[in-house]
Amino acid sequence: MQIVDIVEVTKPIASPIRNAYIDFSKMTASLVAVVTDQVRDGRRVVGYGFNSNGRYGQGGLIRERFRDRVLSADPKSLINDAGDNLDPHRIWAAMMQNEKPGGHGERSVAVGTMDMAVWDAVAKIAGKPLFRLLAETYGVEADPRVFVYAAGGYYYPGKDLSALRAEMRGYLNRGYTVVKMKIGGASIDEDRRRIEAVLEEIGNEAQLAVDANGRFDLETAIAYAKMLREYPLFWYEEAGDPLDYQLQAALADFYPGPMATGENLFSHQDARNLLRHGGMRPDRDWLQFDCALSYGLVEYLRTLDVLKVHGWSPKRCIPHGGHQMSLNIAAGLGLGGNESYPDLFQPYGGFPDSVKVEQGYITMPELPGIGFEGKSDLISVMRELAE
């Protein structure tokens, strides 16, 4: 059993939206195929992966370093002890040989994208949905029902309050019970008007989360906290720089409600620093580490170990990224849910075609692997790359 090729293509996922920090006019994503010599149900097993929005495609790093390390490793060194499947941990170690610790940069995105494809292949070889394989491997009871929320509410040229309300109404109509909008890309007064408009639209049918994308200094973060705490928000996300743990800790004195952060922390060491120094409260706050940006599930398992040591439940994790990989981790390892972008970043985000959001939850279909084969627009792009 062996990996015979790894292919990458960088695809545009551009859109005219903007958050408080970046616009998405030139956004790209890497799509990766891990091609194996295995055949299941008459078809060659190919695992697929991609990185989440917000970081760009990683074709350079994948082609120059990580692909060749896997392909030039002794194939036997990448197999599990039972000899019946690839071993994601050994493949990860092969990718990361000769890499110094720390300074994670964006190599974590390259590795995370390839790691997603490896897990897809592994679950297909095992003939099981990834969430079932994870639950069995790690002794957790799988729960195919996963909470999802609708992320959007971006700044968009010419978008007025009625368009923002219509967007949120659209999410409610599709079954979501929590919606998210951007803040920090306009004046505080304008953001307050946007928030009030959305709250008026959703009434008691749903809750609202807000996301500042790391834009604020401490003073601005506190000014917003004082404004936001007047409303019953689902969470206040990424107020300040993702590595400014002291800012995050100081903010808790001004914001008693739930806060969320972590989508831009790319290693278990950075996650540990957040838990050590960021003043995050395990009874109400949310952790958004996204495996596709942060060295993949092999590393995310280490992050979950860090959580345990610091007294956090995996239920406090609702990853960033809106991909099916995190849906599987949520269903298989007991996370609190997953992000979803109903109108953005297609065909990569979202659910298999048969899946509907009902009262804020989806139910995972029983598809081998991550489940990409169930999403027709996505699998056709993937199969163009390799099959």
Ligand X SMILES: O=C([O-])CC(=O)C(=O)O
Q: Residue 259: what are its φ and ψ, rounded to 5°?
A: -120, 160
User: Any catalytic annotation for residue 89?
Assistant: no
28 binds ligand X (CB under 6 A): no
Burial tier of 103 (Cβ tally within 10 Å: 0-12, 13-18, 19+):
exposed
Task: Indicate which residue of 128, 182, 268, 375 is catalytic.
Answer: 182
Options 124, 128, 180, 320, the catalytic residue: 320
Instruction: Work out whether 320 is an interface residue with ligand X (CB under 6 A).
Output: yes
State yes or no: residue 168 binds ligand X (CB under 6 A): no
Q: Which is nearer to ligand X, 48 or 155 (CB)?
A: 155
244: partner contacted, choices Mg ion, ligand X, none (Cβ within 5-8 A by kind): none
Q: Which of residues 258-297 bind ligand X (CB under 6 A)?
A: 263
Query: Which phi and psi (to 5°) does residue 279 adopt?
Result: 65, 20
Nearer to ligand X (CB atom), residue 151 or residue 379: 151
Nearest Cα to Cα of residue 307 among 295, 296, 315 = 315
Q: Which of residues 210-239 bind ligand X (CB under 6 A)?
A: 211, 213
Residue from 3, 6, 13, 19 in contact with ligand X (CB under 6 A): 19
Using CB under 6 A as the binding criterion, the count of chain residues that bind ligand X stands at 8
For the chain, give me the number of helices (H) and strands (E)?
13, 11
| 189: amino acid identity, one letter | D
Min. distance of Cβ 211 from Mg ion in angstroms? 4
Q: Find the Cα–Cα–Cα–Cα dihedral 54, 67, 348, 177, rounded to 10°.
A: -60
Q: Are 92 and 296 within 8 A, CB to CB?
A: yes
Binding of residue 51 to ligand X (CB under 6 A): no
Residue 83: CB minimum distance to ligand X, A: 40
Q: Active site includes 180?
A: no
Decide the pairing of beta strands 28-40 and 3-12. antiparallel
Cis peptide bond prior to 88, omega within 30° of 0:
no
Of the pair 122, 260, the CB lying nearest ligand X is at: 260
Per the structure block, which two tokens stand in for 56?
Answer: 């760009």
Show which residues are catalytic: 182, 320
Q: Which residues bind ligand X (CB under 6 A)?
A: 19, 54, 151, 211, 213, 263, 320, 339
